[in-house]
Amino acid sequence: MHLTSETFDQNARDALRDPVLHGALRNLADNFVERRRAAIASVDDWEGLREKARVIKEQTLCHLDRYLLQFVENAEKAGVKFHWARDGKEACGIVLNLLKKRGAKHVVKSKSMATEEIHLNAALEAEGIEPVETDLGEWIIQLAGETPSHIVVPAIHKTKAQIADLFVDKVGIEKTDDVDVLTRTARNILRQRFAEAEVGISGVNFGVAETGTIVILENEGNIRLTTGLPKTHIAVMGIEKIIPKFADLDVFLKLLPRSGTGQRLTAYQSIITGVKRNVTDEGPDEIHIVLMDNGRSRMLAHPVTRQSLACIRCGACLNACPVYQQVGGHAYGSVYPGPIGAVITPQLIGISKAKQLPYASSLCGACREVCPVKIDIPELLLHLRAEITDGTAGGAESNPQRKRKFTESLAFRMYGFAWSGPVSYGLGIKAARLMQKLVVRDGRIGKVSGFVAKLLPPLGAWTAWRDAPAVAERSFREQWRDGLGNNSQWSVVSGQ
Ligand code: SF4
């Protein structure tokens, strides 16, 4: 079943009841969190490296127009053809046209979040073109008819037993739990696909403005074959992937693999500058790059949302997130799950279609701590929440939060008044003590609903999921006034 971002709450509840999913997600902590910790210890100044990356990304995004033109100019000199796409539909149309002009029926693809974002596979299949995913995880997902649940490890939600069953069902081999047999089977099938493909489609990790180079990282060698074997290579690239200088790669090639998979370096780094120079050289005859906006200019326009474009898709924030660890990626109903998905998806598809995602976080800050480019994801989440509650993110009818605005602002005004001076504070506390008698049970305030929740929306929202402590029978000030200040223990403390 296809899950949507609009139903995150329900999706998450369903995921929490899935013991098989939890078993699969346990690999996250074992395989990635620990490995990342060990890998970053091998860098002398990890924090300095993160800061360098943040500065490079920030400066590039502030002058993105200039760097994009420089990238295009240098890549064109090396024989690359460029196509600009305003949105996903245009990007799919450009790729389809290129394939049709070449009469391509067989296409191999390497893992690419940009093509997932625009649902390129569905667009190609609708026109009778068979795109074959060649990353093992992506291929498994394609066989299962599912979408990826992780930016780096698309099939993380699947157990070994489920994959073995899938191979029996779709590939027709005897059931085995021998991973070597499963991977050998996949390799044999995919090698055949590489041999017959007319076009290879890839994403891009980095586009270097200074040289017009594209850089693609991987561990399986499938990107080498996708970009090198077919006669035509099409790369789909978000406009934010630009970095200014070749030397900047030194920073990002250290950060990305360590953050994502806990490796010091990915097994393959394909560094491609233009088409082959001589007919006898290896490589494609033509390279096309589809530069895609698809909502990125909108993100670029605001200083807070701009940081979303610094993401290098390492997946570390997913691995660190306590919400993702429990519910997995499909619950987010988007190709971008986890903390970064919770901020990118509403900006890509419109906040009215993903209103629950900015709330899919405890704001613990674990994502910010691990992000190699220091994106302040909690700040972005709060920014999006503010847009929702301010009603600037959609129409009044479509935004129930907006209808609450008057009572909510009244409650906060009363709260502000109560805290503005000692007399109003004392009166406010006394009033709260009186009113809470309606809702306090065993010294705690449990779920508040009905009239009281309407009168005090923040209390209703808070207690929908957790208890609130009751206002104490006697405040600290009252206890102090009644002689606590004369207690010898407190006298010592206050004398320090
Ligand atoms: S937000 Fe940061 S940690 Fe998350 S995927 Fe992007 S770069 Fe990695």
In this structure, are residues 6 and 333 in contact, taking their beta carbons and an 8 Å threshold? yes
- Reported confidence tier of residue 405, pLDDT bands at 50, 70, 90: low
Per DSSP bridges, beta strands 440-441 and 232-238 are unpaired
How many angstroms separate the alpha carbon of residue 62 from the centre of ligand 1?
19
Confidence (pLDDT) at 17: 95
How many angstroms separate the alpha carbon of residue 26 from the centre of ligand 1?
20
- Reported confidence tier of residue 496, pLDDT bands at 50, 70, 90: very low
Confidence (pLDDT) at 216: 98
Atom 8 of ligand 1: nearest residue by CA position = 314
Confidence (pLDDT) at 487: 65
Pocket test for ligand 1, best of 321, 373, 374, 380 (most atoms within 8 A of CB): 373
d(CA 167, CA 375): 39
Ligand 1 atom nearest the C-alpha of 370 is 3
Ligand 1 atom nearest the C-alpha of 377 is 1
pLDDT for residue 491 is more than 80: no
Over residues 119-135, the mean pLDDT reads: 96
Pocket test for ligand 1, best of 261, 317, 324, 345 (most atoms within 8 A of CB): 317
How many angstroms separate the alpha carbon of residue 228 from the centre of ligand 1?
29
Which has more pLDDT, 2 or 168?
168
Confidence (pLDDT) at 484: 76
Question: pTM for this one?
Answer: 0.85
In this structure, are residues 270 and 324 in contact, taking their beta carbons and an 8 Å threshold? no
pLDDT for residue 298 is more than 90: yes
How many angstroms separate the alpha carbon of residue 256 from the centre of ligand 1?
9
How many angstroms separate the alpha carbon of residue 313 from the centre of ligand 1?
5
Confidence (pLDDT) at 398: 42
Over residues 33-39, the mean pLDDT reads: 92
Ligand 1 atom nearest the C-alpha of 260 is 8
How many angstroms separate the alpha carbon of residue 135 from the centre of ligand 1?
21
How many angstroms separate the alpha carbon of residue 321 from the centre of ligand 1?
11
How many angstroms separate the alpha carbon of residue 307 from the centre of ligand 1?
11
- Reported confidence tier of residue 485, pLDDT bands at 50, 70, 90: low
- Reported confidence tier of residue 396, pLDDT bands at 50, 70, 90: very low
Q: Please give the full DSSP string across 399-443, using - where no structure is assigned.
A: -HHHHTHHHHHHHHHHHHHHTTSHHHHHHHHHHHHHHHTTTEETT
Give CATH superfamily name and number for 43-298: NagB/RpiA/CoA transferase-like (3.40.50.10420)
Ligand 1 atom nearest the C-alpha of 316 is 3
* 48-81 tens-digit pLDDT: 999 999 999 999 999 999 999 999 999 999 999 9
How many angstroms separate the alpha carbon of residue 371 from the centre of ligand 1?
5
How many angstroms separate the alpha carbon of residue 443 from the centre of ligand 1?
42
Cα→Cα distances 380→128, 367, 375, Å = 40, 12, 9
> Which residues line ligand 1 at a C-beta cut-off of 6 Å?
151, 259, 311-317, 340, 370-373, 375
Give the CA dihedral 44, 47, 52, 58, nearest 10 degrees.
160
Ligand 1 atom nearest the C-alpha of 367 is 3
Closest to 55 (Cα-Cα) out of 209, 219, 232, 252: 252
Atom 4 of ligand 1: nearest residue by CA position = 317
d(CA 169, CA 200): 27
Pick the range with the lowest mean pLDDT from 10-14, 171-175, 370-374, 461-465: 461-465
How many angstroms separate the alpha carbon of residue 312 from the centre of ligand 1?
6
Over residues 436-444, the mean pLDDT reads: 85
3-state helix, strand, coil in the chain (%, to 5): 55, 10, 35
Distance from the Cα of residue 117 to its chain's centroid: 12
Domain span(s) for CATH 3.40.50.10420 in the chain: 43-298
pLDDT for residue 495 is more than 50: no
pLDDT for residue 4 is more than 60: yes
pLDDT for residue 232 is more than 80: yes
Atom 2 of ligand 1: nearest residue by CA position = 371
Ligand 1 atom nearest the C-alpha of 314 is 8
d(CA 238, CA 294): 8
Pick the range with the lowest mean pLDDT from 152-161, 241-250, 430-439: 430-439
Strand arrangement, sheet containing 81-85: 81-85, 286-292, 232-238, 199-202, 106-109, 130-133
Pocket test for ligand 1, best of 313, 361, 376 (most atoms within 8 A of CB): 313
* 249-291 tens-digit pLDDT: 999 999 999 999 999 999 999 999 999 999 899 899 999 999 9
Percentage of the chain surpassing pLDDT 90? 72
How many angstroms separate the alpha carbon of residue 251 from the centre of ligand 1?
15
Confidence (pLDDT) at 444: 87
d(CA 142, CA 132): 8
Pocket test for ligand 1, best of 46, 299, 311, 336 (most atoms within 8 A of CB): 311
Over residues 386-404, the mean pLDDT reads: 59
Over residues 146-159, the mean pLDDT reads: 93
